[in-house]
Structure 1
Amino acid sequence: MLKYLLVLLMAGLLFVLAQTPRFEFGLTFGLFGLIFSGMVLLFFLSEHRINRTKIFWAGILLRLAVFAFAPQWSDDVYRFLWDGELLTVRENPYLQTPREYQEAQPDSDNSYLNSLFDKLNSPDYYSVYPPLNQAVFTIGAVASNGSIWNGFFALRLMLILGEIAVFYLLWKLLELFQKPSKIILLYWFNPLIILEITGNLHFEGLVLVFLLASLLALQKRKNWLSGGFWGLAISMKLLPLMLVPAFLFFAEARKNLTFWIASFFSVILCFVWLYWDDSYLNFFQSIRLYQGKFEFNGSVYYLLREVGFWIKGYNTIETLTKILSGATLLAIVFFSWKMKPKSLFELVDLLVLIYLIYLILQPVVHPWYIIPAFGLSLLTHRNTFLIWTFAVIFSYQAYGNTDFKESPIFLFTEYFLVFAAIFFDYFRPYRIPNFKS
């Protein structure tokens, strides 16, 4: 009975949290902390093997608690619907910035596009979303039928279907790795997952679907299917491309030509559209601008930035991002070579480490960026990303300011927890009891 009451309480708290404006950080933090605590309590109250059906429907209930509300902590969804709407009227979202498109049609009577434009957070940038992402946006735009709320609901339904796929794949992989099935609670009831995927409509959950599907197919020696799913993960978000060294040093994948051919054709099939009207030029220009201009919730980058201020007297972001990108690539290749995974479990552990290296060295780490790595980490003995799904709530403090000004105290608190978890995970792995064991 206590477990049922906890789930109902968490659903009620999520219902309130979904309506809490992002500038009310104190209330957001309190509600988030209570829900996270409820998840942890449920985890420890549960036996190693749990009832899959009951847990599944309890997680669906938690997602339905935030279903009816507009995203409170991110306005990215308006760009998603904007790009999708352009595609429905046979316009290319990579060829013009939203402002250029609006100025080229001053007499446009498309009130739906006009309302979306007023809510965009990046009207002067070309779209940075890969073609597979754009396909999902288009479905949302078609379903919206001129209503932003219809667009919200359509995208949410697709993302919840993706979450159901994650639930199934995680369950199967936990069985494969002979880990307690209750570990799935840490994903399925996690408030960050529910808020950022179902609530804020971010697509990292679909990236996780493809990565998990790739791993399961690899275990079943369906190499063409594994490579295809990995290619789809890259086509949804470019980031899984950094996993190339891990697969190259994994003997089961390296020696299998079918895996690489399927990956290649999956990516080509999705990205070939960027050559239409030279769209790739603006697409990659936006990515370069994003990498060299924006900063949010960084860790190592912020420390080096302060050194740059001390030496140069100005923000050295362009130089630092190039240096850190190079360092990230070298570290990924080095650890892939050093670890040379021989089993699927070791491969997953390496994938989690690669994501960790990347995120620790990045100048921009939005909360939803950690979702794919967190999902993968549940298959390992590492707890860093689990801790980060709580610690990242401190970054929400900046969302409450009109200029997104970050507090050094909150940043320190977040990364103190993260780096403490890294220490216990990677430097004292045999001395501290594992949370998920």
Structure 2
Amino acid sequence: MPALLLCAAGFLALRPELRLAVPELIGITAAMVLALSFALYRGGRGGIGWSPRCIILIALVLRLMFLASPPQLSDDLYRYLWDGSNILRGINPYQAAPARTVPPASLKAAHALINHPEYVTIYPPTAQLVFAAGATLGGLTGLKALLVLFDLALCGLIVVLLRQLTLPPWLAVLYAWNPLPVLEIAGSGHVDGAGLSLLVAALVLTLRGAPRETSEAPRRGPAQAAGLLFAAACLVKLFPLPLTPVLFLLTPRVRRLEFSLGCATGLAALTLPFWPELAHITQSLDAYARNWEFAGFAYNTLRTATGSGTTARLTLSLIFACCLMVLVGKLAMELKRAESPAERGRAALTACYRITLALLLTTPTLQPWYALSLAALFPMSAGPAGLVLCWAVFLTYQVQIPYFVLGKWIESPAVTAALFLAPLLAWLLARMSGGRTARG
């Protein structure tokens, strides 16, 4: 199977323009996901023995294929380079929107390609530090190289977490060899992998601090460090915020104050250097929350039914909040019954997976790389809905063809519907068949 995945990825890497090869991209990534599905099926019967070293090596080769190529499916990387370069020049990235800034000669090319230059950067402080570190390595390729290193670290941390959960380490291939992180991080250079690596590191430390025996006291240290890492993860992108109650409940009761102090310390240490200009980010976040939409079937349906985009957004927020409360309440009961740290950890990771899936299905804006958060949790809580969704997001790249050729952004209602309904159908079929992966 590794040879098949390498050949498939190599074919895509050799395409001169992926925006004109979307049908091939969809077909080849489907074949790669089917191969991973077969691995999941076969592994459940004891037929797989890939070592962590092999998993990381193949993951590295897959990513190296796309490292040197410029981003084609997204232009976010140019904003990253602009923000990071500003920090290196002593300029606060939240000070002014790119459209109101005259770029130096070395950044004119990147400045011209920034999307929505009229807005101040929307990326939080930890992401800004990553951008600055990447900018020191030299241009787009240097920044992508750093993001790939974070992604490979995430692959290794997933192996560690699987062992803590007493799950087979080979399950890490469900993320490490998945075409989604390969294309979205190594190819397009999205920063999500950095945040996910910090999130998984926080989970690893939280489980490490748990007592191994019921009579053993929880260990000092890991809870506060986990809080620091979790705060840092939330300040790469805000998506881990709904997972806060999960990590809080997973932390031993006597160490929850330490976890909270770690979160507060990390939040203060990372945000204070950017004040007071950091307050400008709220303008961009407000514009995103009120106006952005893409591939959101639930949002489109509610907007059509109510005649109001605002009502649709508020309704979806309420639906997600209800899902969050139900899932957190269910987790609280499961943690009371759990008899070991591994059992507690598996329950918590399943809750994280389900919360993330609910968030993706209710968001008005579902860019393909948003599903990276689900893909990173998939090895610890594999389910058919998540596997289908992590591939189906590639369907939305059909907008790239008319946009690249005609300059027109034309979404397909059929694709948007498929992106929402296909995961639900996969989950329903698994439930009807009584499969063990019917968790979602």
TM-score by length of 2: 0.86
Rounded Cα–Cα distance in structure 1 between residues aligned with 2:152 and 2:167: 20
Q: Choose from 303, 306, 315 the match for 2:304.
A: 306
Q: Residue 319 of structure 1: which of 311, 322, 327 is its match?
A: 311
- Which piece of structure 1 moves more, 380-389 or 66-75? 380-389
Write the distance in 2 (CA, Å) between the matches of 1:363 and 1:62. 31
Structure 2 distance, partners of 1:429, 1:209, is: 35
Distance apart, 1:168 and its partner CA: 1.5
Distance 2:436 2:375 in 1: 19
Letter in 1 for 2:414: I
Give the whole-Å Cα distance in 2 for the aligned partners of 1:41 and 1:422.
17
Q: C-alpha deviations, 1:47-84, integer Å up to 9, x for none?
A: 33322222321221111111221111000001111111
Q: Give the letter aligned to residue 285 of structure 2.
A: I
Contact 2:206 2:250 in 1 (8 A): no
Q: Are 2:39 and 2:48, in contact at CA under 8 Å, matched by a contact in 1?
A: no
Question: Following TM superposition, by how much is the alpha carbon of 1:424 offset from its aligned partner in structure 2, in angstroms?
Answer: 5.0
- Structure 1 residues 7 and 300: alpha-carbon distance in aligned structure 2, compared to 1, 3 A threshold: closer
Please say if residues 162 and 206 of structure 1, whose CA atoms lie closer than 8 Å, have aligned partners that are also in contact: yes
Distance 1:207 1:184 in 2: 18
Q: Percent of pairs identical after alignment?
A: 25
Q: Gaps (5+ residues) in structure 2?
A: 210-221, 336-343
Matched, 1:68 2:79: no
Structure 2 residue aligned with 1:219: 207
Deviation at 1:270, TM superposition (A): 0.8
2:132 to 138, 155, 158: 138
2:187 is aligned, of 199, 213, 228, to 199
Offset at 1:172?
1.6
Q: Which moved more, 1:331-340 or 1:388-397?
A: 331-340
Equivalent position of 2:417 in the other structure:
412
Note the aligned Cα RMSD (angstroms).
2.4
Find the counterpart in structure 2 of residue 185 from structure 1: 173
> 1:188-337 alignment to 2 at 5 Å?
188-221=176-209, 222-250=222-250, 252=252, 256-275=256-275, 278-309=276-307, 316-337=308-329
Following TM superposition, by how much is the alpha carbon of 1:22 offset from its aligned partner in structure 2, in angstroms? 1.3
Distance of aligned partners of 1:124 and 1:39 in 2 relative to their CA distance in 1, 3 Å threshold = same
The one of 149, 155, 168 aligned to 1:167: 155
Contact 1:253–1:259 (8 Å) recurs in 2: no
Q: SS state of the match for residue 27, structure 2?
A: helix
AA of the residue aligned to 1:387: V
Distance 1:41 1:435, change over 3 A: farther
- Amino acid in structure 1 at the alignment position of 2:174: L
Q: Is 2:29 the partner of 1:28? A: no
Contact (CA 8 Å) 1:167, 1:184: kept in 2 or not?
yes
Contact (CA 8 Å) 1:159, 1:206: kept in 2 or not? yes
Counterpart in 2 of 1:147? none
Separation of aligned partners in 1, 2:22 and 2:116: 24
Instruction: Say if 2:374 and 2:390, in contact at 8 Å, map to a contact too.
Output: no
Using the alignment, how far apart are the partners of 1:93 and 1:158 within structure 2? 20
Count of residue pairs brought into register by the alignment: 411
Gaps of 5+ in 1: 103-107, 145-150, 310-315
**CA–CA distance in 2 between the matches of 1:97 and 1:355?**
31
Distance across 2 between alignment mates of 1:401 and 1:325: 32
Q: So what's the TM-score if we normalise by structure 1?
A: 0.87
The equivalences for 1:363-382 within 5 A come to: 363-382=364-383
Q: Which residue of 1 aligns with 2:435?
A: 432
1:127 counterpart residue number: 121
- Distance 1:348-1:40 versus aligned 2 partners, 3 A rule: closer
**Counterparts of 2:2 and 2:95, CA distance in 1:** 52
